[in-house]
Amino acid sequence: MTPVVECLVAFLFGSVAGLLMQRSRFCNTAALRDAIMFKTYRNTKAMLVAMMILSVGFTGFMSVGAGHPLQFDVGLNTFAGLFLFGIGMVLAGACTVSTWVKAGEGNIGALWALIFTFVGMFLFSLVWSASWWPPAPETMTGQINLAALQLGFANAQTMQDKFGIPAVVFGLVQTALLFALYRGILRRERAQHAEHEKHQKEHLKKKAATAATVEA
Amino acid sequence: MEFFRKTLDPIIALAAIAVLDIFMFLLMGAWTVGGGETMMTGLMAQAVLGDELQRIPFWNIVFPPHADYWKIYISLGMLFGAFVGAVASKEFYWRVPRHLSEWVLITIGGLLMGFGIRLAYICNVSTFFGLMPEMNLGGYLAMSGIIAGAWVGSMIYKKMLEGDV
């Protein structure tokens, strides 16, 4: 595909994704924050469903060598970077997805978050240019490099090559684990619902009893 | 149209996006946002600094700015799609944060997100909808990081709501 066609396909995908997210109010930040702070799982469940579909889909195609998996070494920076990101997204009340979606709805705060995401990226470019860490993609080896705090590269494809088991088998195991988590959330929601109903009944009973006493 | 009147179940929305993401994976690569944002940062920096940008090695070695990078257009597409959805459902209106504290939090949050994405080489979208389903080791590292970060962020937020900070 030529770069122009790639850009058009990407724009089309982005537009549909943006529309669906705007209509569903999906937010990746909420998927994590609400589960942690408020024990509500509306967005968490949607995220898990997408991850289940993708786990089967991606590993299925990777089994036959199709698709374009991401290729770069990971290490301490992967954990540390997303740790900072996690704090930032809760403070900003938006992540990479919802900043674009909310900006499209006219949210100036989201646009402001986006501008400072760019500023943060530029600041990192200055830090990197002084520290040269994490290693640039061209110097990545795919192997463990403890001096650079890098663990190399591994995914379903490399596991298939190493163990001779199709990548999709690993994908199905992951999907089963995600499904177990999803079921756990549903159980928790049912328990929350039952608890809520119990409280409501008790409240009504108390109200009726008070009314009866007043009448008497 | 019903679609623009009722809120869509996020499970249906994300399932549909996941199916489209599989097509993206086959054609170019999984859904991602951070890479496109970095390229936009580079292009904007180039517009402001011109050739001076060459003096910052990051923009020579890791992300040489060029406008025909497909990941940029996913983000622009999301902005456009959300705008269309908001206008069609009469949900578009200017929302401006009222309190100074909100502006401060959003500024700090934005900076942390941008810095974090580049430190990790990936964003949250790539973590959950790219690396994790590819079963990349980085996906598990990133997911642990973002959950720990979201927990710390939530604790800070809670403390602020309670008025301790």
| B39 interfacial to chain A (CB closer than 8 Å) | no
| A94 interfacial to chain B (CB closer than 8 Å) | yes
Q: Do A116 and B118 touch (CB under 8 A)?
A: no
Q: Pick from A54, A82, A125: which is nearest to B56 by CB?
A: A125
Peptide bond into A134 cis (omega under 30): yes
Which residue type is seen at B59? W
Which residue type is seen at A65? G
Considering chain A, what is the average pLDDT of its residues? 95
On the question of pLDDT at A163 being above 80, the answer is yes
**Residue of A59, A87, A182 to mutate, testing the B interface (most B Cβ within 10 Å of its Cβ):** A87
pLDDT at B17: 98
Q: Do B119 and A124 touch (CB under 8 A)?
A: yes
Q: Pick from B10, B70, B72: which is nearest to A26 by CB?
A: B10
Q: Pick from A32, A106, A112: which is nearest to B103 by CB?
A: A112
**Residue of B9, B14, B46, B129 to mutate, testing the A interface (most A Cβ within 10 Å of its Cβ):** B14
For chain B, the residue count is 165
Q: Pick from B44, B146, B156: which is nearest to A85 by CB?
A: B146
pLDDT digits (tens, 9 = 90+) for A119-159: 999 999 999 999 999 999 888 889 999 988 999 999 999 99
| B50 interfacial to chain A (CB closer than 8 Å) | no
Collapsing DSSP to helix, strand or coil, A106 comes out as coil
Task: Report the Cα B137 to chain-centroid distance in Å.
Answer: 21
CA distance A87 to chain B (A): 4
Considering chain B, what is the average pLDDT of its residues? 95
For residue A208, what are its two tokens? Answer: 């009726």
Q: Do B125 and A96 touch (CB under 8 A)?
A: yes
pLDDT digits (tens, 9 = 90+) for B68-109: 999 999 999 999 999 999 999 999 999 999 999 999 999 999
Unique residue bearing structure tokens 């663990």: A151
Find the closest chain B residue to A53 by CA distance. B18
B165 confidence band (pLDDT: 50, 70, 90): low
A212 confidence band (pLDDT: 50, 70, 90): confident
Interface list for B 87-116 with A (CB within 8 A): 89, 91-97, 102-103, 105-116
**Residue of B24, B26, B79, B140 to mutate, testing the A interface (most A Cβ within 10 Å of its Cβ):** B79
Find the closest chain A residue to B62 by CA distance. A136
Tell me what ipTM this predicted complex has: 0.96
Strands A74-75 and A150-152, bridge-based pairing: antiparallel
State the Cα–Cα distance between residues A189 and A183, nearest whole angstrom.
Answer: 10
DSSP letters, chain B, are: -GGGTSPPPHHHHHHHHHHHHHHHHHHT----SHHHHHHHHHHHHHHHHGGGGGGSTHHHHT----TT-HHHHHHHHHHHHHHHHHHHTT----B---SHHHHHHHHHHHHHHHHHHHHHT--HHHIIIIITTTT-HHHHHHHHHHHHHHHHHHHHHHHHHTT--
| A43 interfacial to chain B (CB closer than 8 Å) | yes
pLDDT at A161: 96
Q: Pick from A7, A120, A153: which is nearest to B111 by CB?
A: A120
pLDDT at A138: 85
pLDDT at B1: 79
Angle between helices A28-37 and B137-161 (to 10 degrees): 60
On the question of pLDDT at B43 being above 70, the answer is yes
Q: What percent of chain A has pLDDT over 70?
A: 100
